[in-house]
Amino acid sequence: MLMQVNAYAAPAAGLPLAPTTIERRDVGPNDVLIEIQYAGICHSDIHTVNGDWGPQPFPVVPGHEIVGTVTEVGTGVTRHRVGDRVGVGCMVGSCGECASCRNGDEQYCVDGMVPTYAGTDRDGSTTQGGYSTHVVVDADYVLSVPEGLDPVAAAPLLCAGITTYAPLRKWNAGPGTRVAVVGLGGLGHMAVRIAHALGAEVTVLSQSLKKQEDGLRLGADAYHATSDPATFEQLAGRFDLIVNTVSAHIDVDAYLGLVAVDGTLVNVGAPAEPLSLNVFSLIGARRSFAGSMIGGIALTQEMLDFCAEHGIGAEVEVIPAEKINEAYERVLASDVRYRFVIDTSTLV
């Protein structure tokens, strides 16, 4: 018999989320049933339910920053046990056979990864996310949350953490490298903390200096306002790696001008509108303009272990489910420092 659970769903594009009940599948041999404790609110949730990224299979229950406790495991599950604290991020399935999956890059599965919500699951049903009390997930896509991590602060690591950890590791941020982070929001504040812990010299590039004190406290060595044209003159050619975390239009050429020879500007923010650039911004200094999306399961587990080792968590504001719509408005107004997390015990 399918399990009925409480949730918050968007009934259609642009409409407020509302309480509902959804069905969770029976626990199969390789499945894990998780009682969700906390679910982070990601800007991607808002883009999805507003229809910014195209038509969606409404009603949609968002949420892909999930931390909870295992309450049941399938007969074939060995990695997780009842009572374990676990996490679920942005994907709950992939083909497991293509080159990307075999290389541990399941997020780039050639058949398309199965997203945690608004995707098509292996049984043909629509996946529904973490704004709910329980979820059933293939054990191969369930992460172990180390004891050293506060579960509330750990929830945003499942998206914001891995989204920034992945490019920092890919492009070798560490001692002797100069890293800039564009934007100090949900993604940006994690990028600063992680880059600092990796040993890089970290600079925040933000529209204004209003969050400068926070940026320096989080581990930045310098903080500059991009609204000041002098910033782009002063920092020309300085950075080995720039991680752009904002989901809005930027002047790509201007930011490429800050990148050193052989350096990279990598986009992890996902604006709804296309970005353009002048190719001379690249060929003039053998620069690269790249993109990155979350990370594979092994890398995500590495990130969680790294964050536990270095005492890194997200800075969060915990809210009850009834304030989800208000939280969406505040995210769009940049009125959160730095991630909303839903206490799912309020989903009654």
> CB burial class (10 A; 0-12, 13-18, 19+) of residue 200?
buried
Q: Tokens at residue 62, please?
A: 């968002």
Report yes or no: 258 and 289 within 8 Å, Cβ to Cβ.
Answer: no
- What pLDDT score was predicted for residue 1? 64
Distance CA(205)–CA(242), nearest Å, equals 9
Buried b (16+ CB within 10 A) or exposed e, 211-240: bbebbeebbbbbbbebeeeeebeebeebbb
Pick out the chain residues at pLDDT < 50: none
User: Which of these, 186, 206, 224, 216, lies nearest to 313 by C-alpha position?
Assistant: 186
User: Which of these, 131, 134, 207, 161, lies nearest to 315 by C-alpha position?
Assistant: 161
For 106-146, the three-class secondary structure string (H helix, E strand, C coil) is: HHHCCCCCEECCCCECCCCCECCCCCECEEEEEHHHCEECC
**Model confidence pLDDT, tens digit, residues 212-252:** 999 999 999 999 999 999 999 999 999 999 999 998 899 99
pTM of the model: 0.96
- What pLDDT score was predicted for residue 126? 96
Report yes or no: 179 and 203 within 8 Å, Cβ to Cβ.
Answer: yes
Strands (E) across the chain are located at 3-9, 18-24, 31-40, 66-73, 85-88, 91-93, 114-115, 134-138, 143-144, 178-182, 201-206, 222-225, 239-244, 259-267, 288-291, 316-319, 339-343
Q: Positive or negative CA dihedral for 332, 227, 222, 235?
A: positive
DSSP per-residue codes, 193-205: HHHHHHT-EEEEE
Report yes or no: 18 and 318 within 8 Å, Cβ to Cβ.
Answer: no
160-170 and 186-198 helices, crossing angle to 10°:
40
Residue 10's SS3 state is strand
User: From residue 166, how far is each of 154, 201, 294, 302 by CA, in Å?
Assistant: 16, 18, 6, 10
AA identity, residue 258:
L
Q: Name residue, tokens 């054990």.
A: 139
Distance CA(185)–CA(315), nearest Å, equals 10
Report yes or no: 200 and 180 within 8 Å, Cβ to Cβ.
Answer: no
- What pLDDT score was predicted for residue 150? 97
User: Which of these, 39, 5, 44, lies nearest to 24 by C-alpha position?
Assistant: 5
Distance CA(93)–CA(163), nearest Å, equals 18
